[in-house]
Structure 1
Amino acid sequence: MDDLFAELDDGAPQELAAGVVLLRGFVREQASLLLAVAQITQAAPFRQMSTPGGYVMSVEMSNCGALGWIADRHGYRYVAHDPLTGEPWPAMPEAFLALARRAGLEAGFADFSPDVCLINRYVPSTKLSMHQDKDEADFSAPIVSVSLGLPAVFVLGGLQRNDPSQRIGLSHGDVLVWGGPARLRYHGVLALKHGNHVELGACRINLTFRQAA
Protein backbone atom coordinates (compact mmCIF):
# COMPACT_ATOMS: atom_id res chain seq x y z
CA MET A 1 0.00 0.00 0.00
CA ASP A 2 2.94 2.35 0.60
CA ASP A 3 3.46 2.65 -3.17
CA LEU A 4 0.02 4.26 -3.47
CA PHE A 5 1.25 7.16 -1.37
CA ALA A 6 4.79 7.42 -2.77
CA GLU A 7 4.16 7.31 -6.50
CA LEU A 8 2.72 10.85 -6.75
CA ASP A 9 4.65 12.99 -4.32
CA ASP A 10 6.06 16.01 -6.16
CA GLY A 11 3.35 18.46 -5.07
CA ALA A 12 2.19 19.21 -8.62
CA PRO A 13 -1.41 18.57 -9.69
CA GLN A 14 -1.70 15.05 -11.04
CA GLU A 15 -4.40 14.20 -13.58
CA LEU A 16 -5.26 10.60 -12.76
CA ALA A 17 -7.98 10.33 -15.42
CA ALA A 18 -10.10 12.68 -17.49
CA GLY A 19 -11.71 15.00 -14.94
CA VAL A 20 -9.87 13.51 -11.93
CA VAL A 21 -7.07 15.55 -10.33
CA LEU A 22 -5.02 14.78 -7.22
CA LEU A 23 -3.57 17.77 -5.36
CA ARG A 24 -0.98 16.16 -3.13
CA GLY A 25 -0.30 18.12 0.10
CA PHE A 26 -2.55 20.96 -1.07
CA VAL A 27 -3.82 21.92 2.40
CA ARG A 28 -1.06 23.82 4.18
CA GLU A 29 -3.02 25.31 7.08
CA GLN A 30 -4.86 22.44 8.72
CA ALA A 31 -5.24 23.81 12.26
CA SER A 32 -7.99 26.27 11.32
CA LEU A 33 -9.88 23.53 9.46
CA LEU A 34 -9.72 21.16 12.42
CA LEU A 35 -10.90 23.88 14.78
CA ALA A 36 -13.81 24.61 12.45
CA VAL A 37 -14.71 20.91 12.31
CA ALA A 38 -14.80 20.80 16.12
CA GLN A 39 -17.05 23.86 16.27
CA ILE A 40 -19.40 22.56 13.56
CA THR A 41 -19.77 19.14 15.12
CA GLN A 42 -20.44 20.61 18.53
CA ALA A 43 -23.54 22.22 17.02
CA ALA A 44 -24.34 19.37 14.59
CA PRO A 45 -22.88 16.22 16.19
CA PHE A 46 -21.44 13.34 14.24
CA ARG A 47 -23.93 10.52 13.76
CA GLN A 48 -24.21 7.21 11.90
CA MET A 49 -26.94 7.42 9.31
CA SER A 50 -29.05 4.55 8.03
CA THR A 51 -29.78 3.66 4.43
CA PRO A 52 -33.35 3.24 3.15
CA GLY A 53 -32.81 -0.51 3.45
CA GLY A 54 -31.95 -0.23 7.14
CA TYR A 55 -28.17 -0.62 6.86
CA VAL A 56 -26.29 1.52 9.41
CA MET A 57 -23.31 3.28 7.83
CA SER A 58 -20.01 2.78 9.62
CA VAL A 59 -18.83 6.30 8.78
CA GLU A 60 -19.99 9.04 11.16
CA MET A 61 -21.27 12.16 9.40
CA SER A 62 -22.21 15.79 9.87
CA ASN A 63 -22.71 18.76 7.52
CA CYS A 64 -22.28 22.48 7.21
CA GLY A 65 -23.56 24.94 4.64
CA ALA A 66 -26.95 25.98 3.32
CA LEU A 67 -27.96 22.31 2.99
CA GLY A 68 -26.90 19.01 4.48
CA TRP A 69 -26.89 15.51 3.03
CA ILE A 70 -28.82 12.87 4.96
CA ALA A 71 -29.84 9.23 4.58
CA ASP A 72 -32.76 7.53 6.29
CA ARG A 73 -35.66 5.17 5.54
CA HIS A 74 -37.13 7.83 3.22
CA GLY A 75 -34.06 7.90 0.99
CA TYR A 76 -30.99 10.05 0.26
CA ARG A 77 -31.43 13.80 -0.03
CA TYR A 78 -30.39 17.30 0.98
CA VAL A 79 -32.27 19.18 3.70
CA ALA A 80 -31.91 22.67 5.19
CA HIS A 81 -32.27 21.57 8.83
CA ASP A 82 -30.38 19.00 10.86
CA PRO A 83 -32.94 16.28 11.70
CA LEU A 84 -31.00 15.51 14.89
CA THR A 85 -31.27 19.01 16.37
CA GLY A 86 -34.06 20.62 14.33
CA GLU A 87 -31.75 23.58 13.69
CA PRO A 88 -30.29 24.85 10.41
CA TRP A 89 -26.93 23.30 9.60
CA PRO A 90 -23.97 25.40 10.79
CA ALA A 91 -22.82 27.95 8.24
CA MET A 92 -19.90 26.98 6.06
CA PRO A 93 -16.73 28.65 7.40
CA GLU A 94 -15.02 31.05 5.06
CA ALA A 95 -11.83 28.96 5.31
CA PHE A 96 -13.75 25.94 3.97
CA LEU A 97 -15.23 27.89 1.09
CA ALA A 98 -11.89 29.46 0.13
CA LEU A 99 -10.14 26.09 0.18
CA ALA A 100 -12.80 24.41 -1.96
CA ARG A 101 -12.79 27.21 -4.52
CA ARG A 102 -9.00 27.26 -4.71
CA ALA A 103 -8.82 23.48 -5.15
CA GLY A 104 -11.50 23.54 -7.82
CA LEU A 105 -9.65 26.24 -9.73
CA GLU A 106 -6.33 24.39 -9.44
CA ALA A 107 -7.99 21.26 -10.83
CA GLY A 108 -9.44 23.15 -13.77
CA PHE A 109 -12.96 23.82 -12.49
CA ALA A 110 -13.38 27.58 -12.32
CA ASP A 111 -16.27 29.23 -10.47
CA PHE A 112 -16.88 26.28 -8.13
CA SER A 113 -19.07 27.58 -5.30
CA PRO A 114 -20.14 24.76 -2.94
CA ASP A 115 -23.22 25.13 -0.78
CA VAL A 116 -22.64 21.88 1.14
CA CYS A 117 -19.73 20.34 3.02
CA LEU A 118 -20.31 16.77 4.14
CA ILE A 119 -17.96 15.97 7.04
CA ASN A 120 -17.10 12.28 7.44
CA ARG A 121 -15.25 10.78 10.40
CA TYR A 122 -13.50 7.45 9.92
CA VAL A 123 -12.00 5.29 12.67
CA PRO A 124 -10.01 2.09 12.09
CA SER A 125 -12.02 -0.56 10.17
CA THR A 126 -14.50 2.06 8.93
CA LYS A 127 -15.09 2.02 5.18
CA LEU A 128 -17.31 3.57 2.56
CA SER A 129 -18.92 1.29 -0.02
CA MET A 130 -18.81 2.07 -3.74
CA HIS A 131 -21.43 4.63 -4.71
CA GLN A 132 -22.16 7.62 -6.95
CA ASP A 133 -22.77 11.18 -5.75
CA LYS A 134 -26.00 11.81 -7.64
CA ASP A 135 -28.37 13.58 -5.23
CA GLU A 136 -27.31 17.01 -6.46
CA ALA A 137 -29.52 19.09 -8.77
CA ASP A 138 -26.71 19.86 -11.24
CA PHE A 139 -23.79 17.61 -12.14
CA SER A 140 -21.79 20.34 -13.87
CA ALA A 141 -19.93 21.22 -10.66
CA PRO A 142 -17.13 18.95 -9.39
CA ILE A 143 -16.71 17.15 -6.08
CA VAL A 144 -13.81 18.40 -3.94
CA SER A 145 -12.64 15.94 -1.28
CA VAL A 146 -10.15 16.96 1.44
CA SER A 147 -8.32 14.37 3.56
CA LEU A 148 -7.17 15.06 7.13
CA GLY A 149 -5.69 12.66 9.67
CA LEU A 150 -4.89 9.00 9.05
CA PRO A 151 -4.11 7.91 5.47
CA ALA A 152 -6.80 6.14 3.50
CA VAL A 153 -7.14 4.29 0.22
CA PHE A 154 -9.71 5.83 -2.11
CA VAL A 155 -11.18 3.51 -4.75
CA LEU A 156 -12.15 5.18 -8.02
CA GLY A 157 -14.37 3.13 -10.31
CA GLY A 158 -16.10 3.88 -13.57
CA LEU A 159 -19.53 5.04 -14.62
CA GLN A 160 -20.93 1.53 -14.14
CA ARG A 161 -20.78 -0.30 -10.82
CA ASN A 162 -18.81 -3.23 -12.24
CA ASP A 163 -16.25 -1.16 -14.19
CA PRO A 164 -12.56 -1.63 -13.32
CA SER A 165 -11.30 0.54 -10.47
CA GLN A 166 -8.05 2.11 -9.35
CA ARG A 167 -6.74 2.71 -5.85
CA ILE A 168 -5.45 6.11 -4.75
CA GLY A 169 -3.57 6.67 -1.51
CA LEU A 170 -4.68 9.83 0.29
CA SER A 171 -2.68 11.40 3.12
CA HIS A 172 -3.18 14.32 5.52
CA GLY A 173 -3.59 17.50 3.45
CA ASP A 174 -4.31 15.81 0.11
CA VAL A 175 -7.25 16.96 -2.02
CA LEU A 176 -8.93 14.89 -4.71
CA VAL A 177 -11.18 16.60 -7.26
CA TRP A 178 -13.39 14.90 -9.83
CA GLY A 179 -15.89 16.40 -12.24
CA GLY A 180 -16.75 16.77 -15.90
CA PRO A 181 -16.66 13.32 -17.54
CA ALA A 182 -15.74 11.78 -14.16
CA ARG A 183 -18.47 13.45 -12.10
CA LEU A 184 -20.64 10.32 -11.78
CA ARG A 185 -17.89 7.75 -11.40
CA TYR A 186 -18.39 5.22 -8.65
CA HIS A 187 -16.05 5.61 -5.69
CA GLY A 188 -15.49 4.43 -2.14
CA VAL A 189 -12.92 4.11 0.65
CA LEU A 190 -11.27 0.88 1.83
CA ALA A 191 -11.40 -0.02 5.52
CA LEU A 192 -9.20 2.43 7.43
CA LYS A 193 -6.04 0.83 8.83
CA HIS A 194 -5.05 1.22 12.46
CA GLY A 195 -2.70 4.08 13.21
CA ASN A 196 -2.20 7.28 15.15
CA HIS A 197 -2.09 10.72 13.60
CA VAL A 198 -0.23 13.43 15.52
CA GLU A 199 -3.20 15.83 15.40
CA LEU A 200 -6.26 13.61 15.10
CA GLY A 201 -5.18 10.36 16.77
CA ALA A 202 -6.83 7.18 15.46
CA CYS A 203 -9.10 9.07 13.09
CA ARG A 204 -9.53 10.40 9.56
CA ILE A 205 -11.67 13.42 8.71
CA ASN A 206 -12.90 13.89 5.16
CA LEU A 207 -14.43 17.16 3.96
CA THR A 208 -16.50 16.66 0.82
CA PHE A 209 -17.59 19.86 -0.90
CA ARG A 210 -20.54 19.78 -3.28
CA GLN A 211 -22.79 22.17 -5.15
CA ALA A 212 -26.17 20.64 -4.37
CA ALA A 213 -28.82 23.21 -5.24
Structure 2
Amino acid sequence: MTPDLFGETAPPGLAYLPGFALAEEAALIGAALGVAAAAPLRVMSTPGGKKMSVAATNCGAAGWVSDARGYRYERRDPLTSLPWPAMPGLFLTLAQAAAAQAGFAGFNPDACLINCYEPGAKMALHQDKDEADLTAPIVSISLGLPAVFLWGGANRSDKPARLPLHSGDVVVWGGATRLNFHGIAPLPSGHHPPLGAARLNLTFRRALRA
Protein backbone atom coordinates (compact mmCIF):
# COMPACT_ATOMS: atom_id res chain seq x y z
CA MET A 1 0.00 0.00 0.00
CA THR A 2 1.19 3.53 -0.75
CA PRO A 3 2.65 5.18 2.38
CA ASP A 4 0.36 7.93 3.68
CA LEU A 5 0.10 10.51 6.43
CA PHE A 6 -1.05 7.84 8.86
CA GLY A 7 2.40 6.25 8.59
CA GLU A 8 3.54 2.76 7.71
CA THR A 9 0.79 1.15 9.82
CA ALA A 10 -2.19 2.56 7.92
CA PRO A 11 -5.39 0.59 8.56
CA PRO A 12 -5.94 -2.21 6.02
CA GLY A 13 -7.99 -1.10 3.03
CA LEU A 14 -7.10 2.59 3.30
CA ALA A 15 -4.76 4.39 0.89
CA TYR A 16 -3.76 8.04 0.55
CA LEU A 17 -2.48 8.95 -2.93
CA PRO A 18 -1.11 12.51 -2.75
CA GLY A 19 -1.30 14.41 -6.05
CA PHE A 20 -2.52 11.35 -7.92
CA ALA A 21 -5.03 13.38 -9.97
CA LEU A 22 -3.16 16.70 -10.02
CA ALA A 23 -2.05 16.46 -13.64
CA GLU A 24 -5.71 16.23 -14.68
CA GLU A 25 -6.97 18.88 -12.24
CA ALA A 26 -8.21 21.39 -14.83
CA ALA A 27 -9.87 18.71 -16.97
CA LEU A 28 -11.57 17.14 -13.95
CA ILE A 29 -12.91 20.49 -12.77
CA GLY A 30 -14.18 21.28 -16.27
CA ALA A 31 -15.89 17.91 -16.54
CA ALA A 32 -17.47 18.27 -13.10
CA LEU A 33 -18.82 21.72 -13.96
CA GLY A 34 -20.17 20.25 -17.19
CA VAL A 35 -22.09 17.65 -15.19
CA ALA A 36 -23.44 20.40 -12.93
CA ALA A 37 -24.65 22.35 -15.97
CA ALA A 38 -26.87 19.40 -16.93
CA ALA A 39 -27.80 18.22 -13.42
CA PRO A 40 -27.62 21.33 -11.22
CA LEU A 41 -25.95 21.32 -7.84
CA ARG A 42 -28.55 21.33 -5.08
CA VAL A 43 -28.60 21.34 -1.29
CA MET A 44 -30.38 18.20 -0.12
CA SER A 45 -32.09 17.54 3.20
CA THR A 46 -31.68 14.62 5.55
CA PRO A 47 -34.69 12.33 6.09
CA GLY A 48 -35.26 14.28 9.32
CA GLY A 49 -35.56 17.54 7.38
CA LYS A 50 -32.18 19.11 8.21
CA LYS A 51 -30.52 20.98 5.34
CA MET A 52 -27.04 19.78 4.46
CA SER A 53 -24.25 22.36 4.21
CA VAL A 54 -22.87 20.87 0.99
CA ALA A 55 -24.38 21.18 -2.49
CA ALA A 56 -24.35 18.02 -4.60
CA THR A 57 -25.08 16.41 -7.93
CA ASN A 58 -24.30 13.10 -9.61
CA CYS A 59 -23.25 11.41 -12.82
CA GLY A 60 -23.29 7.80 -13.94
CA ALA A 61 -25.98 5.13 -14.05
CA ALA A 62 -27.35 6.16 -10.65
CA GLY A 63 -27.17 9.12 -8.32
CA TRP A 64 -27.26 9.40 -4.54
CA VAL A 65 -30.15 11.46 -3.17
CA SER A 66 -31.56 12.31 0.23
CA ASP A 67 -34.97 13.67 1.22
CA ALA A 68 -37.91 12.81 3.45
CA ARG A 69 -38.06 9.37 1.79
CA GLY A 70 -34.55 8.52 2.99
CA TYR A 71 -31.04 8.00 1.63
CA ARG A 72 -30.96 6.07 -1.63
CA TYR A 73 -29.79 5.84 -5.24
CA GLU A 74 -32.03 6.88 -8.12
CA ARG A 75 -31.48 6.27 -11.83
CA ARG A 76 -33.07 9.63 -12.69
CA ASP A 77 -32.42 13.08 -11.29
CA PRO A 78 -35.46 14.01 -9.15
CA LEU A 79 -34.86 17.66 -10.06
CA THR A 80 -35.06 17.22 -13.84
CA SER A 81 -36.69 13.77 -14.19
CA LEU A 82 -33.91 13.00 -16.67
CA PRO A 83 -31.24 10.30 -16.39
CA TRP A 84 -28.13 11.54 -14.64
CA PRO A 85 -25.38 12.74 -17.01
CA ALA A 86 -23.06 10.02 -18.23
CA MET A 87 -19.87 9.61 -16.24
CA PRO A 88 -17.04 11.38 -18.09
CA GLY A 89 -14.41 8.99 -19.42
CA LEU A 90 -11.67 10.79 -17.49
CA PHE A 91 -13.57 10.25 -14.24
CA LEU A 92 -13.78 6.51 -14.86
CA THR A 93 -10.16 6.18 -15.95
CA LEU A 94 -8.78 7.97 -12.91
CA ALA A 95 -11.08 6.20 -10.45
CA GLN A 96 -10.07 2.80 -11.80
CA ALA A 97 -6.37 3.70 -11.80
CA ALA A 98 -6.53 4.97 -8.20
CA ALA A 99 -8.40 1.87 -7.06
CA ALA A 100 -5.83 -0.38 -8.72
CA GLN A 101 -2.98 1.59 -7.12
CA ALA A 102 -4.65 0.99 -3.74
CA GLY A 103 -4.99 -2.74 -4.36
CA PHE A 104 -8.54 -2.88 -5.74
CA ALA A 105 -8.07 -3.96 -9.33
CA GLY A 106 -11.20 -4.36 -11.44
CA PHE A 107 -13.16 -1.51 -9.81
CA ASN A 108 -16.05 -0.53 -12.08
CA PRO A 109 -17.92 2.41 -10.54
CA ASP A 110 -21.40 3.19 -11.82
CA ALA A 111 -22.01 6.32 -9.74
CA CYS A 112 -20.07 9.48 -8.95
CA LEU A 113 -21.36 11.84 -6.27
CA ILE A 114 -20.04 15.38 -6.76
CA ASN A 115 -20.04 17.46 -3.57
CA CYS A 116 -19.36 21.19 -3.65
CA TYR A 117 -18.10 22.78 -0.42
CA GLU A 118 -17.93 26.51 0.30
CA PRO A 119 -16.09 27.92 3.34
CA GLY A 120 -17.77 26.73 6.51
CA ALA A 121 -19.39 23.68 4.88
CA LYS A 122 -18.66 20.29 6.41
CA MET A 123 -19.62 16.64 6.28
CA ALA A 124 -20.42 14.95 9.57
CA LEU A 125 -19.01 11.51 10.31
CA HIS A 126 -21.02 8.97 8.36
CA GLN A 127 -20.81 5.60 6.61
CA ASP A 128 -21.25 5.00 2.89
CA LYS A 129 -23.66 2.09 3.16
CA ASP A 130 -26.44 2.77 0.63
CA GLU A 131 -24.62 0.95 -2.17
CA ALA A 132 -25.73 -2.48 -3.37
CA ASP A 133 -22.13 -3.71 -3.65
CA LEU A 134 -20.21 -3.15 -0.42
CA THR A 135 -17.32 -5.30 -1.65
CA ALA A 136 -16.27 -2.51 -4.03
CA PRO A 137 -14.07 0.29 -2.66
CA ILE A 138 -14.76 4.01 -2.40
CA VAL A 139 -12.53 6.34 -4.43
CA SER A 140 -12.54 10.02 -3.43
CA ILE A 141 -10.83 12.77 -5.46
CA SER A 142 -10.29 16.25 -3.99
CA LEU A 143 -10.27 19.37 -6.17
CA GLY A 144 -10.00 23.03 -5.24
CA LEU A 145 -9.54 24.36 -1.71
CA PRO A 146 -7.66 22.17 0.78
CA ALA A 147 -9.71 20.30 3.37
CA VAL A 148 -9.23 18.01 6.36
CA PHE A 149 -10.51 14.47 5.89
CA LEU A 150 -11.74 12.83 9.10
CA TRP A 151 -11.07 9.10 9.18
CA GLY A 152 -12.93 7.32 11.98
CA GLY A 153 -13.46 3.74 12.96
CA ALA A 154 -16.24 1.19 12.92
CA ASN A 155 -18.21 3.21 15.49
CA ARG A 156 -19.31 6.83 15.26
CA SER A 157 -17.83 7.45 18.72
CA ASP A 158 -14.31 6.44 17.61
CA LYS A 159 -12.01 9.48 17.56
CA PRO A 160 -11.15 10.25 13.93
CA ALA A 161 -7.66 10.83 12.55
CA ARG A 162 -7.23 14.08 10.60
CA LEU A 163 -5.75 13.90 7.11
CA PRO A 164 -5.05 17.17 5.22
CA LEU A 165 -6.11 16.89 1.58
CA HIS A 166 -5.05 19.15 -1.29
CA SER A 167 -6.30 19.52 -4.83
CA GLY A 168 -5.42 16.40 -6.80
CA ASP A 169 -5.15 14.14 -3.75
CA VAL A 170 -7.05 10.84 -3.80
CA VAL A 171 -8.21 8.67 -0.91
CA VAL A 172 -9.32 5.06 -1.41
CA TRP A 173 -10.79 2.69 1.15
CA GLY A 174 -12.48 -0.67 1.11
CA GLY A 175 -12.25 -4.20 2.43
CA ALA A 176 -12.14 -4.25 6.22
CA THR A 177 -12.56 -0.46 6.39
CA ARG A 178 -15.29 -0.10 3.77
CA LEU A 179 -17.88 0.95 6.37
CA ASN A 180 -15.62 3.10 8.53
CA PHE A 181 -17.05 6.44 9.57
CA HIS A 182 -15.55 9.43 7.78
CA GLY A 183 -16.25 13.08 7.10
CA ILE A 184 -14.86 16.52 6.30
CA ALA A 185 -14.02 19.21 8.87
CA PRO A 186 -15.46 22.72 8.25
CA LEU A 187 -13.82 24.10 5.12
CA PRO A 188 -11.50 27.07 5.77
CA SER A 189 -11.67 30.22 3.68
CA GLY A 190 -9.37 30.51 0.69
CA HIS A 191 -9.13 30.94 -3.06
CA HIS A 192 -8.34 28.34 -5.67
CA PRO A 193 -8.27 29.21 -9.37
CA PRO A 194 -10.41 28.40 -11.28
CA LEU A 195 -12.90 27.30 -8.60
CA GLY A 196 -12.46 30.33 -6.36
CA ALA A 197 -13.70 29.82 -2.80
CA ALA A 198 -14.84 26.24 -3.27
CA ARG A 199 -13.86 22.59 -3.06
CA LEU A 200 -15.19 19.78 -5.23
CA ASN A 201 -15.13 16.18 -4.10
CA LEU A 202 -15.69 13.36 -6.60
CA THR A 203 -16.71 10.17 -4.84
CA PHE A 204 -16.94 6.98 -6.90
CA ARG A 205 -19.03 4.01 -5.81
CA ARG A 206 -20.51 0.77 -7.10
CA ALA A 207 -24.12 1.65 -6.34
CA LEU A 208 -26.13 -0.90 -8.31
CA ARG A 209 -26.03 -4.66 -8.38
CA ALA A 210 -23.90 -6.09 -11.18
Compute the TM-score of the two structures, normalised by the length of structure 1: 0.93
Whole-angstrom CA distance in 1 between matches of 2:205 and 2:10? 20
CA drift of 1:164 comes to: 2.4
1:19 is matched with 13
Whole-angstrom CA distance in 1 between matches of 2:8 and 2:88? 27
Three-state SS of the structure 2 residue aligned to 1:84 is coil
Contact 1:47 1:61 in 2 (8 A): yes
Contact 1:158 1:186 in 2 (8 A): yes
Whole-angstrom CA distance in 1 between matches of 2:8 and 2:73? 31
Whole-angstrom CA distance in 2 between matches of 1:71 and 1:196? 29
2:81 is matched with 86
Whole-angstrom CA distance in 1 between matches of 2:83 and 2:8? 37
2:128 is matched with 133
Contact 1:14 1:21 in 2 (8 A): no
1:198 is matched with 193
CA drift of 1:36 comes to: 0.8
Pair 14,40 (structure 1): closer, same or farther in 2 beyond 3 Å: farther
Contact 1:16 1:22 in 2 (8 A): no
Whole-angstrom CA distance in 2 between matches of 1:142 and 1:211? 8
Whole-angstrom CA distance in 2 between matches of 1:33 and 1:39? 10
Which segment drifts farther, 195-204 or 118-127?
A: 195-204
For 1:157-172, what aligned pairs fall within 5 Å after superposition?
A: 157-172=152-167
What do residues 141-197 of structure 1 show as CA deviations (whole Å, max 9, x unaligned)? 000000000000010110111112101000000000000001000001000000011
CA drift of 1:205 comes to: 0.3
Pair 49,166 (structure 1): closer, same or farther in 2 beyond 3 Å: same
CA drift of 1:15 comes to: 6.8
Provide the identity percentage.
Answer: 56
Three-state SS of the structure 1 residue aligned to 2:24 is coil
For 1:12-161, what aligned pairs fall within 5 Å after superposition?
A: 16-27=10-21, 28-161=23-156
Three-state SS of the structure 2 residue aligned to 1:32 is helix
Whole-angstrom CA distance in 1 between matches of 2:145 and 2:119? 9
Whole-angstrom CA distance in 2 between matches of 1:189 and 1:136? 20
Whole-angstrom CA distance in 2 between matches of 1:23 and 1:60? 25
Contact 1:119 1:206 in 2 (8 A): yes
Letter in 1 for 2:11: A
Whole-angstrom CA distance in 2 between matches of 1:14 and 1:174? 18
Count, aligned residues = 203
Compute the TM-score of the two structures, normalised by the length of structure 2: 0.94
* Structure 2 spans left out of the alignment, 5+ residues: none
Whole-angstrom CA distance in 1 between matches of 2:46 and 2:75? 19
RMSD (Å), alpha carbons: 1.4
* Structure 1 spans left out of the alignment, 5+ residues: 1-6
